[in-house]
Amino acid sequence: MAIAAIERGVRVLRAVAAGYGTVSELSEHTGLALSTTARVLETLEQSGALARRDKVYRIGPTVFELISSEATTYDLLGLAKPHLHALAASTGETAGLAQCESNDIVHLGQVETEHDVSVRDWTGFRVGLHSGSIGLVILAHWPEEEITHFLAEPLERYAEQSVTEPIAIRERLEIVRRCGWLVTTDEYDQGVTTIAAPIRNRDGRGVASLHAHGPSYRFPGDVDVIDIGHQLTERARMISVVLGFNGGNR
């Protein structure tokens, strides 16, 4: 019985982290009965794991306390999976997650669609932060002195369209800070367009990114780029909140 209760609580917490907030939404997403969902929510709210405002539940202070330790590690891919599936469904293209390691990004995983022609599986690949929107949205939320140091180093040109000039890169970082997302085309892999948004930790630092990408002849096509950018930004924000980001340190 105790194990089942814990399992239900974790299911509800994951659903809240994925952006579902009302009792009915959480009941539908978790498959739990409304009455059961309400009891679980009450318990989680009493413990501080969730907080409620205007009948909408969000991750609460107890979770932030738990993740405040420097020793805490995160299953970023596990946190991102529901968002990746949702992004792949809404955009019709591959959605992926990349994490920053030193001055590079490492692709952690992706969710694909059923197109006959799609982008390759980049899982496990490591490339420089400057290689395109996936890394640039992370770099945009680094401390200024670290950005300066990064741009002072020789930057590899991955493709003909790669941007390596510091001034041009800084202009793009400003776009990320202003809009919350960035789109690049052909800058790492020829014929691929990528739209990305940053995931930030409790200090506001860029640590990872969500992205959607597809063949440039098809993506974004007739789909509204701004809408995709907003979807990515909002879902990246949800993951950032779980990591302790409170919206400051812009």
pLDDT at 76: 86
User: Rounded mean pLDDT of 49-55?
Assistant: 86
Both tokens of residue 70? 């420097």
Of 183, 127, 114, 176, which is closest to residue 155 (Cα–Cα)? Answer: 127
pLDDT at 170: 96
pLDDT tens digits, residue range 26-45?
999 889 999 999 999 999 98
Q: At what angle do helices 225-242 and 76-91 cross, to 10 degrees?
A: 160
**CATH class belonging to 76-242:** alpha beta
pLDDT at 127 over 80: yes
Beta bridge partners of 210: 97, 197
pLDDT at 72 over 60: no
pLDDT tens digits, residue range 148-197?
999 999 998 888 888 999 999 999 999 999 999 999 988 887 788 899 99
Q: How many degrees, rounded to 5, is the angle at CA 139 between CA 136 and CA 140?
A: 85
pLDDT at 249: 47
**pTM of the complete model beyond 0.75:** no
pLDDT at 231: 94
pLDDT at 108 over 80: yes
> Which one-letter amino acid corresponds to residue 125?
F
pLDDT at 54 over 70: yes
Q: How many degrees, rounded to 5, is the angle at CA 246 between CA 129 and CA 240?
A: 45
Domain ranges of the chain: 2-66, 76-242
Of 16, 24, 55, which is closest to residue 241 (Cα–Cα)? Answer: 16
User: Rounded mean pLDDT of 120-149?
Assistant: 91
pLDDT at 68: 52
Give the position of tokens 């599986």: 121
Stretch among 10-14, 100-104, 118-122, 185-189 having the lowest mean pLDDT:
118-122
Strands (E), the chain: 50-53, 56-59, 94-101, 104-111, 126-128, 182-185, 192-200, 206-215
Of 130, 206, 199, 214, which is closest to residue 171 (Cα–Cα)? Answer: 130
Between 172 and 221, whose confidence is greater? 172
Would you tell me how many other CB atoms lie within 10 Å of the CB of residue 69?
A: 8
pLDDT above 90 covers a percentage of the chain that reads 41
User: Rounded mean pLDDT of 241-250?
Assistant: 72
**CATH class belonging to 2-66:** mainly alpha
Secondary-structure breakdown of the chain: helix, strand, coil percentages, each rounded to the nearest 5: 45, 20, 35
Q: How would residue 70 be classed by pLDDT, with cut points 50, 70 and 90?
A: very low
pLDDT at 63: 73
